[in-house]
Amino acid sequence: YLQMEQVLLELKASIKSFPHINDLKALKSMLLELLGSKSVDFVGNPGQGLQIMGMLESRNLDFETVIITSVNEGILPAGKTVNSFIPFDVKRELGLPTYKEKDAVYTYHFYRILQRAKKVILCYNTEPDVLEGGEMSRLIFQLTTDPNTVPFVKREIATPKVPLKDNTTTVVHKDPLILDRITALCKKGFSPTALTDYIRDPLTFLKRHILGIQEPEEVEESLEARTFGTIIHNGLEVLYKPFLGQLLSPEALEDQRKKIRPLVLSLMSEQFPGRAVLSGKNLIASEVIAKYLDRFIEMEIELSKEHEIRILALEKKLRTEYPISGIQQQVILKGTLDRIDEYDGQIRILDYKTGTVKASEVEIVSWDSLISEKEQSKAFQLLCYTLLYGRETPVNGIQAGIIPIKNPGNGPIKFATKEKRNSRTKDSWITKQVIQEFEDQLQKLITEICDPEIPFTEKTS
């Protein structure tokens, strides 16, 4: 009680001394820091009951039952934990005590307390933590290998009971309320993200897009992955907006390159209004974002020296009515295309991704896998964007791809069709035939979503 009172008094004094401690997070951090620096003495009757003591306190005392905890290497014995400016070799040469003498003292007391005990329980942790490796102490190894003690050693492993996961799959049938919500979504519009959510897990689609159950909004103290991606997307839009309808030139891109750092700081300030962005993790994040944008423009500079690249649109919002046979209500498709450009006269649809992208994720071998395997979600999105663009601007022969911002390499990872998974021959042109194959799968998918007889079934893997 007295220790706790002292901690609270120290905390009160600290708050008065440091006015910047103005939120619960900082207060909690300081309270835990103060609590961690305090120690509480054990008080009890030395003549009876459980006696809790350190190893050195057990000198000249014998017990019938002894329980020693944390018998891990690095704790008992402690090993090389003596903080000193004097090197070990100098200590040994001058005859000064080293960690070896301390280990010897603890080893002596360890064996002495075992001598007259009838029952000894030695506990150690097998799980590695940040500092220790979860290794059994050498003292236990000695007991388990000594012929005189081996017959008396009994090993037990204490593990928490892990309940078996319920393998039952959640199935939600479509009642009139859900069917009304699906009709409303058809009129509002299916986005590529919503459709890929259904491919990954119909139950997730139901929660997010039908019932409107979203993740709770949390106040971000540091940059989260979603915000990280938003800043990069916004940054690229601002940097490339002056080039709309124009050819990219190395000189103009170099000028934009100089604006990256102030632009990133401005975008960070918009995401964290009223808070310092040039400190802690946010400072590191801003440097990383600036580096990614700089690397991306550097790649574009090299490409623009040898190729003609014309920016046609940025963050273009598209929306189209998409009639489906067998469905009476109006169905809308919508989406936002990150970038549409012309590369040596060829139209490309490009999607920015801040995560890792593999070529296999945008390559199609079997069209049936497009709406059944979540690994094909990126290919599905690219085809959705191409379909939307083609309905507004009919053209035969488009290329679509993803630019991984973290590692842009030599350009986008293009969508392609292949005859076999391991085949090196692939076709990256999205023709009318490819779009027709995609539309067949898209219609199956939307028909399944709207079918009142097909429930939303959870995908467990």
Between helix 192-200 and helix 377-392 the angle, nearest 10°, is 150
DSSP string, 202-230: HHHHIIIIIS---PPP---SS--HHHHHH
Query: What proportion of the chain, given as a percentage, has pLDDT over 90?
Result: 39
> Does residue 221 carry a pLDDT above 60?
no
> Does residue 219 carry a pLDDT above 70?
no
Q: What is the pLDDT of residue 461?
A: 64
Amino acid at 314: L
> In the 8-state DSSP scheme, what is residue 95?
T
Q: Which residue has the higher pLDDT, 127 or 173?
A: 173
What are the CA-CA distances from residue 415 to residues 93, 199, 343, 429 (Å)? 70, 19, 16, 8
Amino acid at 109: H
For the ranges 21-30, 391-400, 434-443, the maximum mean pLDDT occurs at 434-443
Q: Residue 258 has which token pair? A: 């100089």
Where residue 449 falls among pLDDT bands split at 50, 70, 90? very high
Where residue 334 falls among pLDDT bands split at 50, 70, 90? very high
What are the CA-CA distances from residue 93 to residues 31, 84, 87, 356, 406 (Å)? 45, 15, 10, 56, 54
**CB neighbours (10 Å) of residue 430?**
27
Where residue 52 falls among pLDDT bands split at 50, 70, 90? confident
> Does residue 120 carry a pLDDT above 70?
yes
> In the 8-state DSSP scheme, what is residue 134?
-
Q: What is the CA radius of gyration of the chain?
A: 33
Where residue 18 falls among pLDDT bands split at 50, 70, 90? confident
Mean pLDDT in residue range 165-191: 89
> Does residue 128 carry a pLDDT above 60?
yes
Q: How far apart are CA 391 and CA 371, in angstroms?
A: 21
Amino acid at 359: A
Q: What is the pLDDT of residue 236?
A: 94
Where residue 314 falls among pLDDT bands split at 50, 70, 90? very high
Give residue limits of the domains in the chain.
2-8+24-152, 172-457
Task: For 150-177, write each residue's pLDDT tens digit.
Answer: 888 898 888 878 777 767 788 899 999 9
Query: Which residue blocks in 353-431 are alpha helix, DSSP H?
Result: 377-392
Task: For 24-43, write each residue's pLDDT tens digit.
Answer: 777 887 888 887 777 766 66
Sheet with 426-427, strands from edge to edge, namely 363-364, 416-418, 426-427
Least confident of 155-159, 333-337, 342-346: 155-159
Task: For 139-151, write each residue's pLDDT tens digit.
Answer: 898 998 989 888 8
Where residue 296 falls among pLDDT bands split at 50, 70, 90? very high
Q: How far apart are CA 182 and CA 197, in angstroms?
A: 15
Q: Determine the 3-state secondary structure of 309 from DSSP.
A: strand
Amino acid at 301: I
Asked if the peptide bond before residue 19 counts as cis, ω within 30 degrees of 0, the response is: no
Q: How far apart are CA 104 and CA 108, in angstroms?
A: 6
Q: How far apart are CA 368 and CA 249, in angstroms?
A: 42
